[in-house]
Amino acid sequence: MIELQDAAYGYGADPLLSDMSLRLAPGSFHFLTGPSGAGKTTLLKLCYAELLPTAGSVRLFEQEAKEMARDDVARARQRIGVVHQDCQFLDHLPVAENIALPLTVSDRKTGDEAANLEELIAWVGLRARADALPPELSGGERQRAALARAVIMDPDVILADEPTGNVDWEMSLRLLTLLIELNKMGKTVLIATHDLALIRAAKAEVAARVLRIGGGRLQLAGADL
């Protein structure tokens, strides 16, 4: 699906990330931990070709990222749903239309897709808020809307950058449950988080691999998590 081989990002003697090797296999579940500024967001951006490695290799669905044309990148990104740390919406559009934007942009908003949209909005618990504008949403509602938008195109891979960073514990568990459900449906999931309690909660439900960025390198986290 997505594979990094000795990938690095940054310039000079001390790049931000070095020797990154990671394979996101179909149906796998990963957590990515590390202190603020360690490079978690940068690693996620390498995984969907928002950034290209300054050394080593990143492959998206068997294609070398550095060699992909713009159309190739666009097609690959349709298979990758991204939940950004700071989820942005168009404030003049209601929640349902914000969630449906990827369908609209790709000209896939058909009758069947509209039915799927309604089902997805209900699945994330936002049916009663479908006509609300983004500024009217709580932090948890915004994150659930962001998750719905990330999966509206039925991606193979879901990358979530601190999806529970601005919500309470109850909402964190709700978001985690949604991500675990997606994984059980066969989706590959990678969650960047600093919340070790969230990781412990997930490991009771799913076989999650926990990785940590430290000193610019990627390592398997300890079994004490």
pLDDT at 12: 74
Q: In this structure, what token pair is assigned to residue 21?
A: 């090797």
Dist CA 203 CA 198 (whole Å): 9
Alpha-carbon dihedral sign for residues 140, 144, 150, 155: positive
**Which of 45, 164, 51, 144 shows the shortest CA–CA distance to 99?**
144
pLDDT at 223: 47
Interval 147-197: pLDDT, tens: 999 999 889 999 999 988 878 888 889 889 989 999 999 999 999 998 899
Which phi and psi angles does 176 have, rounded to 5°? -60, -45
Interval 97-123: pLDDT, tens: 999 998 888 766 555 667 788 889 998
pLDDT at 204: 85
Interval 13-65: pLDDT, tens: 788 999 999 999 999 999 999 888 889 999 999 999 999 999 999 999 999 99
65 sits in which H/E element? none
Dist CA 28 CA 139 (whole Å): 28
Query: Domain coordinates of the chain in residue numbers?
Result: 1-79+155-225, 89-154
DSSP-derived 3-state class of residue 2: strand
At the topology level of CATH, where does 1-79+155-225 sit?
Answer: Rossmann fold (3.40.50)
Q: Secondary structure of 8-22 in the HEC alphabet?
A: EECCCCCCCEEEEEE
Dist CA 140 CA 161 (whole Å): 15
